[in-house]
Each structure stands twice: as C-alpha cells, then as structure tokens.
Structure 1
Amino acid sequence: MKRPTMADVARHANVSKSTVSQYLNKRYHYMGEETKLRIEKAIQTLGYEANVLARSLKQKKTSTIGVIVANILHVFSTQIIRAIEDVCHEHDFHVIVCNADDDPAKEKKYIQMLRAKQVDGFIVFPTGENKALYEDLLQEDYPLIFIDRLVEGVAVDAFLLDNHAAVQLAVDHFLSKGHERIGIITTSLIHHVTPRVERMDAFGEILKHQAITFGRAYQRGLETRDIKAGLMEMLALEEPPTAILAGNDLALIEILKAVKAYKLRIPEDFALIGIDDIPFAGLFDPPLTTIAQPTFRMGKEAADLLIHKINGVEDLKSSQIHRFPPRLIQRASC
C-alpha cells in the first residue's frame, strides 16, 4: 500500500503543501483553528507519518542532542537527564545519552560517534581531559554546554551548584549543633573534578575563617572502594570528628555501608550531612540531613539554552557560568 505523502494530506485537508509543512513544524502563527483541525484530521485519516530523514536533510538539523554523563549511577546525573528529556520532548527534540564513566577515552569516542550521527548540540559532564576536542566543537560552531563541571580555558556555558555555599550551609548547621571537630569525605580528587575540588577547598576556607583548627586527617578524597576504610581510620583518630560531611552521593552511600557493616550509630557516633538529596535520605533510619541541589532546574535551564543556541535564538559565541543556590533539608542525622 502506497505510503501517504504531504501532498495527499494537503489535498485531503484542502490546503497547500506549504501550509501542511507549517503545521508539521508547529508554525501556527497565521493559521486558523479550523485549518489546523482539518490538517490534523487528514493526518489521522490517512495515517500520514512525516519523513524525519528528509526533513533533517532539508532543515540541516536532526532535532537530536547528545548528553554525555560522567557517571550515570549518580542520582544527580539521572535527575539532570530527566529534566533535559522533559524539555526536549516539549520542543520535539530527541536525546541520546552516553555514560563515559569519567573515562576520557570513552568520552572522546562518544563525542565522535554523536558528531557522526549529526546531533545538533551537546550537553556534557566533562572529564576535563579532552580540551582539544571541546575546542574543536566550538571552532565548528557546535552548540556545547557543560553540566556540573568547568574546564579551564574552554569558554562555554556551564551549569553547576554554588559549591562554596553548599559547604557553608553544612558547616553552619554542624556548628549550630555544637560540633567543631568536623570532617569531610568525598570521592577521588585525582582528576580535579570541579565539585569535589571546590567543596574540599571551601571546607578548608570556611573552617579557617571560623578559626577552627583541623588536620589533614579530617579531609579525605578517596576512591569509592576506599571510603569505608577511610571513614574507620578517621573515627579511630585520638580526637575523631564528631561530624562528617559527605561530599557527594557516592561518598554518602559508602559511608552508610560502613555504618551498617560496623554497627555505628548516627548521630551518636558522628553527625552526618550529605551533599545531594538522594531519594532515600528521608527514609533512612535516622532520616538524613542533606544539602539539595536544584537538579531539575539546572537540567531544564541547560536544555532550554542549548535549544535556543541550536535555533539561533542565543549567540553561540557567548558563555557564562550559571551557579545555582543549595538548600539545607534538616532531618535527624544532625
């Protein structure tokens, strides 16, 4: 059976092909409601489906974006992806998600693959090790946005938490509860991942400003597999911390595993605050005090800006660092 064409829809609706094209591209500005209804009914009656490939070739865009996350196991990453997908759905854009595992080689491979598929733009949680590749994208006027991280010398729009403010909220809350021996545990700092480094640096600056003496033993940036052992070493110090800040959701999960394995008590053995409000935070016993990021807002605004850049509404050459305020969610762990 012959596949219905745009011309068939136009004849059935008694309108021109260009009017059908305007309808399919959602350009309704000069189209009456009756005309829209006739075209919609004709499409349904004929079972017409737009030729996406032909439209892409004609418009020179695929209405597809690539999203490359550093670690899809992060709750933060999945929430950002959901927000991006919601925005793209509203604008009839498709999303291809790739997980780089914080591996520069995988990230490079995915960027090259997505370019071959002619995606219209990228949202990347950058590893930071492919600077030349990011610069190539910018030289070719590929719309590019970073999430959660900065790359020195690469001028693109970046969306991330105000990490100093997040640590300040946590430390202030610890102090309000009478804690002065405060520690921080986060995942590895070896690759200079922006939020980890910024949070660790902010921790030192804030305690110094508060005239609180703390040793390096109270600051740990560890591989995920080493966090449980690092926590127990910290608690075995002659003067162990009475409060611990988990620098991200992966660190928090490992700390909670240690709490269960060694039958520790929170907040009796140590008070605990986590940055990232993981879904089970309110269900844990005791419920966990957290610093929440506005992840859905971050993802939405990043996707909105990328689509505006793809559509020529925003200047491709402009760039800005967009910082978002954290929020303390007080529960029983501190």
Structure 2
Amino acid sequence: MGKVRRITIKEVAERAEVSKSTVSQFLNKRYEYMATLTKKRIEEAIKDLGYQPNIVARSLKQKSTRTIGVIVANILHTFSTEVSRAIEDVCNQKDFHTIICNADDHPEKEKKYIEMLRAKQVDGLIIFPTGNNRTLYKQMQEENYPVVFIDREVSQIPITSVLLENKKAASIAVDHFIEKGHTKIAMITTSIIHNVTARVERLEGYKQSLKRNGIPVRKEYIGSVRSAEILETLEEMLNLDQPPKAVLAGNDLVLIEVLKYIKQHHLRIPEDLAVIGIDDVSFASFYTPSITTVAQPTFQMGQSAAEILFNKMESSTNKDASIRFEPKLMVRNSG
C-alpha cells in the first residue's frame, strides 16, 4: 500500500487565502480578534482538504503533549472506574487527553506502564501505586516530575496522595454492627501482602472499633486473602464453633464474593449473616435486601487528584502532602 500523503498547514493557508500563522492561531484557538469570515474560510479549508494537525510536531514545539497518564491498580474496582471518570472529566475541561492503563496489582506491569507513558512524554501521571516500584517513584519525585498518588501512600516517598479516611470507614461500619447488637464481627479484605494502604488501614480501623467497644479481636474472624480464596475463607469462618454473625467486606470485590457465597448457601441477610461493604456499589440500593455500605466520595477524590496534578504541572513549588476524604455510612437493610 502506498503511503497516505499528509495535508500541510501551508495548503490550508493557501486554500483559505490567509497566512500560515493565521491558520496556526486558529488551530490553537487564539482567534479572539480574528474576523468571522476568516474563521469560516479556515474551517471550510480544513474540512475540504481533510486536514489533520500534526500532534507530535505541535507537542515538540509547545513542549507539551497535553496528555496525562492514569495507572490504576485494578480497573475491576468500582472505585477505580469512578475516579478515572472524574479525572477524565477534569482533563476534558482543560482540553487534555487521558491515557488509562490497568496494572492488575502487578508491580512489573505498573513499571512498564510508567516507563511507556514517560517515553510518550505525557505531562504528568496519576498512579494507584502497587508500592513495589520505589526506585521509579523516588526518581520521579527527585526530578520534580508531576505525579500524584491516589488511594494509597508509599512510605518514605513524599508524593501527594489522595485517600479516604480508611480507619474511620471501617470503624463506622463496625460501630453500626455493634449498635445492632452484634459482637461476633468478622472482616475480610483482599491481601495485604504488599502493604496496600487502604487494606491495612481498614483492618486497623476494624480492630480499633472492636477494642473501643470492649470486644476482643479474634484472629479467626480476620481474612486477608487473594480474591480467589474469599469464598473458602468465609466457609471456614462460618464453620467455626462460634461463627461470626456479621461480616465487613473490605472492598467491592470482597462484597461480591460474600454475596455470592450467601446466595449459594441459601443464607438470609441479615438474619443468618449481617453484611456491610466498603465502597458504595451501584447495586447496593436495589439488591434484596438492600446492602448497607460505606461510600467514598469517588468523584471528588478523582477531581482533587487531577486538579493537584495540573497545579504541579504549572508550578514545581507545590508541597507534597496527603489529602484525606471523609467516608459516609449508607444505612440500608443488610447490617
């Protein structure tokens, strides 16, 4: 196949009977003082010729690709998709493009995405960090490269992080169980082997609430396992001599597995097992019975992360500090 010839800005200018600089001003939306007829001629010339701006050339000239990268730890989480949507909204308003990559909680995959996006010269990164690429994180921080973490912190890497008050999220859920008369309360979360901030803090909040209410923390009531092991873990808990009567699901993926188990074993909510999930999943309000959840302000968190990143891109003097958002207990019928 022959190579498709690219229409040049010079040809557009000749067709519209204006200078190349006038076309350039039009393409960069600097046409406040441009005559309406001139704008119309340029628009028609672009349409007639099928002109496509050379984004690479413009990026080199402006020293900006007008693109940011977002690397999520696991796109299957409701939190990840909602936050990514909010980030994309902010970028769209600022006429920036967004590239979203899914690391699947694999540090090596995350590393490849960071290197790829930086090679593409994106103007900044928002990362849900796996935590296991400390050398890369530190390098970006030392270079003053614009980067923001979300949902997680990485110890001794002073990069701005946008997070939930995770201990409080678990604590208000456990307090609600206790108000309903429960004392045998379990918690299941996905693995904390990589010290993922949200998971570690939520477990700590669960323990703190039990202790504050004079209820002993029972090791057999705590599960921190891979997603594939959640059903088996719940099975073991419910077959104890003194099984839990309430379970806190540490995130939306855990909640789905817990509900799957309950359905398979024909258990009743909340009579046989009371349930609260952290993350306000879309089906929570119309599930039967409706599911009590702890909601994160996902859209505000995503917007905040994007706005912080744009501030970093405009100024290298921004201080790095964590920003925490308040959880909200959505009381329904499962708790």
Q: Same fold (TM over 0.5)?
A: yes
Secondary structure of the 1:285 match is coil
Structure 1 position 142, deviation (Å): 1.4
How many Å separate the matches in 2 of 1:210 and 1:316? 45
Q: For the Cα contact (< 8 Å) 2:101–2:113, is it kept in 1?
A: yes
Which letter maps to 2:98?
V
Paired residues in the alignment total 327
d(CA) in 2 for partners of 1:182, 1:4: 68
Q: Is the aligned partner of 1:145 residue 2:145? A: no
Match of 2:273 among 266, 270, 290: 270
Q: Which position in structure 2 is the counterpart of 1:191?
A: 194
Which whole-Å CA distance do the structure 2 matches of 1:303 and 1:38 have between them?
A: 38
Map 1:197-276; keep pairs closer than 5 Å.
197-276=200-279
Q: What amino acid is the match of 2:211? A: K
TM-score, normalised relative to structure 1: 0.91
Q: Distance in 2 between matches of 1:262 and 1:205?
A: 31
The CA distance in 1 between the partners of 2:225 and 2:147, in whole Å, is 31
Secondary structure of 1:146's counterpart equals strand
CA shift digits 1:165-221 (9 cap, x unpaired):
211221221122111221111111111111000000111112111111231111111
Partner amino acid for 1:158?
S
Structure 1 position 3 matched with structure 2 position 15: no
Task: Confirm or deny: 8 A CA contact 1:80 1:299 kept in the other structure.
Answer: yes
Change (3 A) 1:182 1:6: farther
3-state secondary structure, aligned to 2:186: strand
Q: CA deviation at 1:290?
A: 0.6
Q: Does 1:325 align with 2:320?
A: no
Please point out which of 48, 71, 92 is paired with 2:95: 92
1:45-70 deviation digits (Å, cap 9, x = unpaired): 11254332221011111111111111
Asked whether the 8 Å contact 2:189–2:199 carries over to 1, the reply is yes
The answer to whether the Cα contact below 8 Å between 1:181 and 1:214 also exists between their aligned partners in 2 is: no
Q: SS of the counterpart of 1:319?
A: coil
Contact 2:12 2:42 in 1 (8 A): no
Secondary structure at 2:286 match in 1 = coil
Question: Structure 1 residues 10 and 308, CA, compared in 2 at 3 Å: closer, same or farther?
Answer: farther
In structure 2, give the amino acid aligned to 1:286: P
1:115 to 101, 114, 118: 118
1:55 and 1:2 map into 2 onto residues whose CA distance is: 15
* Structure 2: gaps spanning 5 or more residues: none
User: SS of the counterpart of 1:205?
Assistant: helix
TM-aligned CA distance change 1:37 to 1:209, over 3 Å = farther
1:270 maps to amino acid:
L
3-state SS of paired residue (1:65): strand
Give the C-alpha shift of residue 264 in structure 1: 1.3
Contact 2:9 2:20 in 1 (8 A): no
SS of aligned partner of 1:191: coil
Residue type of the alignment partner of 1:95: T
Query: Does the 8 Å contact 1:23/1:36 carry over to 2?
Result: no
Residue of structure 1 equivalent to 2:294: 291
What do you get for the CA RMSD once the two structures are aligned?
2.2
Matched residue SS, 1:62: coil
Label 1:51 to 1:259 Cα distance change in 2 as closer, same or farther (>3 A). same
Residues 64, 119 of structure 1: 8 Å contact kept: yes
**Secondary structure of 1:61's partner?**
coil
Q: Secondary structure at the match of 1:179?
A: coil
SS at 1:320 equivalent: coil
- How far apart are the structure 2 equivalents of 1:92 and 1:259? 47
Question: Which consecutive residues of structure 1, in runs of 5 or more, have no partner in the other structure?
Answer: none
- CA drift of 1:21 comes to 4.4
- Asked if the contact 2:285/2:332 (under 8 Å) is kept, the reply is yes
Letter in 1 for 2:302: G
Could you tell me whether the CA contact under 8 Å between 1:10 and 1:39 is conserved in 2? Answer: no
Is the aligned partner of 1:301 residue 2:301?
A: no
Higher mean C-alpha deviation, range 224-233 or range 48-57: 48-57
Conserved 8 A contact 1:4-1:46:
no
Q: Which amino acid aligns with 1:267?
A: P
CA distance in 2, matches of 1:221, 1:40: 61
Per the TM alignment, residue 13 of structure 1 is displaced from its structure 2 partner at its CA by 8.4
Q: Tell me how far 1:76 sits from its aligned partner.
A: 0.9
User: Which is further off, 127-136 or 44-53?
Assistant: 44-53
Deviation at 1:6, TM superposition (A): 6.9
| CA–CA separation in structure 1 for the residues paired with 2:10 and 2:92 | 23
| Structural mapping, 1:156-195, within 5 Å | 156-195=159-198
- 8 Å Cα contact 1:9-1:39 kept in structure 2: no
Distance 1:263 1:220 in 2: 22
How high is the sequence identity, in percent, across the aligned residues?
52
Tell me the SS of whatever aligns to 2:115: helix
* Aligned residue in 2 for 1:64: 67
